[in-house]
Amino acid sequence: MKRMGCCEEAGNKKQASKAGQWKKIGLTAGLLSVMIGAAGCQMKNYEKIELSGIQEQEKETGGDEGTEETEKAASASGSETLDAQCSPVNAEITKETAPSMEERDEVVYVDATDLNVRTEPRKNAEVVAKLNRGAELQRTGYSKEWSKVVYEGKEYYISSQFLTTQKPAEETAAAVSTAGSLSGEVGLNPEWKYADFSKINSGKAVLYRAEGNNRKGKVVCVNAGHGTKGGSSVKTQCHPDGTPKVTGGSTAAGAVTATAISSGMAFADGTPEPKVTLAVAKVLKDKLLARGFDVLMIRESDDVQLDNIARTVLANNLADCHIAIHYDSTSSDKGAFYMSVPDVASYRNMEPVASHWKEHHALGDSLIAGLKGVGVKLFSDGKMAMDLTQTSYSTVPSVDIEVGDKASDYSASSLDKLGNGLADGVELFFGN
């Protein structure tokens, strides 16, 4: 049964393209973490935390665990790779092939990382160069989707979304050397509580540590929804005690197993949801680190083999709270909301829900307050009751937050606003 407007999951993925403000640089025997300061934030050095003695479970992966998520278009998983990384969004939202353009004669600047310069105004046209933030160009033509620019004496095309008439603030990168070749990566320990309920768990999350005098000593798990190939073909147990679901969703009420992790929906322009949730997660990571919070990144690439239960158990054992980022499957630009714990006695009395559901609500309310504070549109009162696998296994404050739906804007400025609002919400939660 398809759920109207909610998604659950705690999906993830492995290896991100280039985080516009973070890069891992390989050095001989070690890894460097590169942090590029987010706009408006003071530059700091960040490093991955080395984790020794963490046991990793080595089993074959079969499917994926996505419980109560809105059923998202299965076609999304086959969508094209996005072109530009900005803030660090990988997005070039156009399928226009022959746009009519206004004549322009103006200087513009690139506001992205690795932005493609193409021979024609269409996706998948030949790429002649990649430009980074601050590159100056002469624009001679403009449409909503594409701009004609002069680059090295010739006219080419660039996605208009990533050009600005105001020069972006300069950014610097600082690298901090770490001690081991796999410093900061962590897998699922089979000895952890509830770990044996996971079916897909060969992937690794990455733990980052903030540096500086403002370090909070708190770890925030940032979980980019979806992003586990093959996950939709596997089932996992909805509740640790084996009882059935008490609400509907992508899995009907009364079911005892659900999708291990769904593939997600596709936005109106065809962009797959996992691409955008990952972009939001990267922006949030940068902002949290700049504010002194350590960050457990569940997914940093298009695919990470960790199902919803594995992601939740990692957060339970390594983080102080768990934020799973999703977009709803509706098409009305309904606004942001979080999945609250259903007011059903049997569910609220089941452990670990019984001991933690009030914390989940407190975290969700704080995140919604943060989003509201920066002007993000909200749906209804900012919450919707849903029996989720993530909630059912969480032992730390944990929410699935839907930051929009398939009609929502996910431009660099929108993602930056979401990142600021969510980071404000995290500070509000721990401040309280």
- Note the pLDDT of residue 113: 61
Helix locations, 219-307, DSSP H: 273-290
Handedness of CA 299, 311, 418, 336 (dihedral sign): positive
Amino acid present at 187:
G
- Note the pLDDT of residue 218: 95
Residue numbers in the chain where pLDDT is lower than 70: 1-99, 113-114, 169-183
> 155-159 long-range CB contacts below 8 Å, 24 or more apart?
156/117, 156/118, 156/119, 156/128, 156/129, 157/117, 157/118, 157/119, 157/120, 157/121, 157/125, 158/110, 158/115, 158/116, 158/117, 158/118, 158/131, 159/83, 159/84, 159/92, 159/93, 159/94, 159/115, 159/116
**Ramachandran area for residue 335 (φ above 0: left; ψ -120 to 50: alpha; else beta):** left
- Note the pLDDT of residue 68: 35
Q: Which residues pair with 337 in a beta bridge?
A: 402
What gap in Å lies between CA 227 and CA 200, rounded to an integer?
12
- Note the pLDDT of residue 171: 39
- Note the pLDDT of residue 235: 97
Give tens-digit pLDDT for 186-198: 999 988 999 999 9
Question: Rounded to 10 degrees, what is the CA torsion of 343, 347, 349, 354?
Answer: -80
User: In degrees, to the nearest 5, what angle opens at C-alpha 248 toward C-alphas 8 and 267?
Assistant: 45
Give tens-digit pLDDT for 56-84: 333 333 333 333 333 333 333 333 333 33
